[in-house]
């Protein structure tokens, strides 16, 4: 018998729920239940009729007109009900116009208890959907099979209990590992588990790449065939499952569905009780996306959003981007699928390192990169030194080429997005340098960025003043000619003899000036990448301001 919206109210994950609107639609039947977090018009392309949708409306939590538009869209696609999750964490309150609209449309608007996760609501309802149409279940082995496994998961006390029942029912030996390949459960001998752990660590990139398309990975070894699958959902990987078919009652063609169902069930059981943490983590990731993309219109708006997710960005002075370069190039797959394991291991160590200086310093994983925000009020720490130590941490976690980009000093919160672009540019340039690790400040390579962005004269003059300030000040107080010497060396391709002749000075005097220039700047402006900055200034003709010839 088909399920109605009324029949799922007050039960399982919807215990304690409230129907805010659309009461006259609660006796309509529905076909299935889905999560809806893509709150854009394009979602109509994949929407199905007769669905109940679960959503937090987080992306449009402050946009009531868009909320109304989305509700009209899903109602127009025969939505049978909308369940709102995490009201305390996301939407905060439901606008009166939304309640009025749902009443007009006859579409039930149900508010779940704030601490209920998607999976707690979805799983028991989905199971009842499968049980509800007996002919469908009996006619399709895979749905019937999936129902049996989900039934075990729904009644299990945890992952250990669930997997031990799987072993008893299907006669397969199972190992379950977390993302760092630490064993969570296994019914195999300890030596076999250790062997599996070593194999996954060694072949993690290949396994994740293969399994990312919904397949399982086959490992042929002396003891027989092992099947490896990811424990994941569409957005995140939580770990690995390894099964030994052994005396299994399953046929070969049934393993793909079996492993997919095990993955879903272990994800569900592993996340139970962590719903609030997951929501806050999701919100933190969305906050970083807005922060680094420049989506905040003011410092106050950015600070308010940061406080909502418990992040302090008010004291950030510098932004560092750490790029683990050669992984992406070698395997030619998306950075997040390659770097995530190294980054997850690296970030806790980086946090321990940078929070020694300040408890609010941050290190996060963002778009395949590690992004670090550091406070350095009063220049109490050496940013280059910290960058070097962070690079060593990352290099020690895997055989990778590490490139670190350092932004200019952050002027205000809304310019953090600019600092991210600067550090990202510097890290991308450092990727092609032979040294490992390669650490570059944006100030080291700004000329290339300027060439691509076609800077105006004012921007170029500002950068010139900043770069040459140590030499200009030294010349002013010592009546020397270091700026002119720098210009002449660059224009004569660092030819010491020719430059000395043009300046009418002895070669030893020129060598002294050259070394003094390097000492004052803190680097050699005659070597890559710094020489490009200097050549841009020279070619721009702006050194004429300081030319005392």
Task: Show the 3-state SS of 244-260.
Answer: ECCCCCCCHHHHHHHHH
Residue 454 has pLDDT above 70, yes or no: no
- For 387, residues 6+ apart whose C-beta sits below 8 A from its C-beta are 320, 404, 406, 439
Mean pLDDT of 17-35: 87
Residue 123 has pLDDT above 50, yes or no: yes
pLDDT of res. 108: 94
Q: Return the percent helix, strand and coil in the chain, to nearest 5.
A: 55, 15, 30
- For 290, residues 6+ apart whose C-beta sits below 8 A from its C-beta are 296, 302, 305
Distance CA 351, CA 163 (A): 35
- For 239, residues 6+ apart whose C-beta sits below 8 A from its C-beta are 176, 177, 178, 179, 184, 230, 231, 266, 270
Residue 106 has pLDDT above 90, yes or no: yes
Q: Where are the alpha helices (DSSP H) in 133-274?
A: 134-139, 141-155, 159-170, 190-202, 204-211, 255-271
Taking phi over 0 as left and psi of -120 to 50 as alpha, with beta for the rest, 298 belongs to beta
pLDDT of res. 109: 93
Distance CA 270, CA 229 (A): 16
pLDDT of res. 115: 76
Mean pLDDT of 30-43: 71
Report strand pairing: 81-84 vs 51-55.
parallel
pLDDT of res. 143: 45
Mean pLDDT of 379-397: 83
Cβ neighbourhood burial of 72 (10 Å; 0-12, 13-18, 19+)? middle
Highest mean pLDDT among 54-68, 288-302, 470-484: 470-484
Mean pLDDT of 457-473: 78
pLDDT of res. 331: 42
pLDDT of res. 401: 77
pLDDT of res. 335: 45
Which is higher by pLDDT, 12 or 234?
A: 12
pLDDT of res. 492: 75
* Percentage of the residues of the chain whose pLDDT score is greater than 90: 15
pLDDT of res. 545: 41
Q: Rounded mean pLDDT of the chain? A: 78
Residue 508 has pLDDT above 80, yes or no: yes
* Percentage of the residues of the chain whose pLDDT score is greater than 70: 75
Which is higher by pLDDT, 89 or 199?
A: 199
Q: Where are the alpha helices (DSSP H) in 294-415?
A: 299-308, 325-331, 335-354, 383-395
Mean pLDDT of 152-173: 76
Mean pLDDT of 185-214: 82
Please tell me the least confidently modeled range out of 1-15, 349-363, 511-525: 1-15
Beta bridge partners, 82, equal 53, 109
pLDDT of res. 104: 93
pLDDT of res. 546: 39
- Rg of the chain, C-alpha, whole Å: 30
Mean pLDDT of 30-49: 71
- Token code pair at residue 435: 């040294």
Residue 253 · residue 141 · CB < 8 Å: no
Distance CA 377, CA 518 (A): 26
Mean pLDDT of 401-416: 90
- Token code pair at residue 542: 């702006």
Residue 261 has pLDDT above 60, yes or no: yes
For the stretch 275-334, pLDDT in tens is: 444 555 666 777 888 898 888 888 988 888 887 777 888 889 999 999 876 544 444 444
Please tell me the least confidently modeled range out of 135-149, 209-223, 391-405, 424-438: 135-149
Residue 228 has pLDDT above 80, yes or no: yes
Residue 133 has pLDDT above 70, yes or no: no
pLDDT of res. 533: 72
């Amino acid at each position: 018998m088909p399920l109605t919206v009324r029949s799922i109210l007050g039960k399982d994950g919807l215990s304690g729920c409230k129907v805010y609107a659309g009461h006259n639609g609660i006796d309509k039947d529905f076909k299935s239940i889905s999560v809806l977090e893509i709150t854009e018009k394009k979602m109509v392309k994949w929407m199905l009729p007769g669905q109940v949708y679960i959503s937090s409306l987080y992306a449009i939590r402050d946009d009531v007109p868009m909320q109304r538009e989305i509700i009209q869209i899903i109602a127009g696609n025969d939505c049978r009900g909308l369940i709102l999750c995490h009201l305390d964490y996301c939407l905060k309150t439901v606008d009166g116009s939304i309640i009025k609209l749902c009443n007009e449309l006859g579409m039930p608007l149900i508010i779940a208890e704030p601490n209920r996760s998607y999976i707690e609501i979805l799983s028991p309802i989905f199971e009842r959907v499968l049980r509800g149409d007996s002919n469908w279940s009996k006619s399709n082995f895979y749905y019937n099979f999936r129902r049996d496994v989900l039934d075990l998961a729904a009644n299990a006390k945890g992952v250990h209990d669930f997997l031990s029942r799987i072993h008893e029912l299907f006669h397969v030996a199972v190992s379950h590992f977390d993302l760092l390949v630490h064993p969570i459960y296994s019914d195999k001998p300890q030596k076999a588990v250790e062997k599996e752990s070593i194999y996954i660590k060694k072949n993690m990139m290949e396994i994740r790449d293969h399994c990312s398309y919904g397949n399982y990975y086959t490992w042929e070894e002396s003891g027989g065939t092992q099947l490896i699958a990811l424990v994941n959902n569409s957005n995140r990987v939580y770990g690995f499952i390894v099964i030994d078919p052994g005396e299994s009652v399953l046929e070969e063609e049934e393993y793909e569905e079996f492993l997919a169902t095990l993955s879903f069930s272990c994800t569900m059981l592993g996340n139970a009780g962590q719903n609030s943490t997951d929501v806050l983590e999701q919100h933190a990731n969305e906050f970083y996306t807005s922060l680094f993309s420049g989506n905040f219109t003011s410092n106050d708006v950015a600070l308010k959003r940061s406080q909502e997710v418990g992040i302090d960005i008010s004291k950030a002075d510098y932004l560092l981007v750490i790029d683990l370069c050669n992984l992406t190039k070698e395997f030619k797959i998306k950075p997040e699928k390659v770097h995530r394991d190294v980054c997850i291991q690296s970030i806790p160590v980086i946090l321990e390192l940078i929070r020694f200086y300040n408890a609010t310093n941050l290190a996060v994983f963002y778009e395949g990169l590690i992004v670090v925000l550091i406070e350095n009020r009063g220049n109490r720490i050496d940013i280059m030194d910290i960058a070097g130590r962070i690079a060593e941490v990352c290099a020690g976690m895997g055989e990778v080429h590490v490139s670190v980009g350092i932004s200019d000093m952050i002027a205000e919160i809304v310019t953090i997005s600019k600092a991210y672009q600067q550090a990202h540019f510097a890290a991308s340039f450092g990727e092609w340098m032979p040294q490992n690790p390669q650490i570059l400040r944006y100030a080291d390579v700004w000329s290339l960025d300027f060439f691509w962005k076609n800077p105006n004269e004012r921007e170029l003059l500002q950068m010139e003043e900043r770069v040459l300030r140590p030499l200009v000040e030294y010349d002013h107080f010592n009546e020397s000619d270091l700026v002119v010497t720098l210009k002449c060396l660059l224009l004569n391709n660092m030819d010491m003899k020719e430059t000395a002749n043009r300046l009418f000075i002895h070669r030893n005097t020129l060598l002294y000036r050259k070394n003094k220039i390097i000492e004052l700047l803190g680097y050699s402006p005659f070597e890559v990448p710094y020489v490009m900055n200097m050549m841009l200034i020279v070619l721009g003709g702006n050194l004429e301001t300081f030319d005392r010839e």
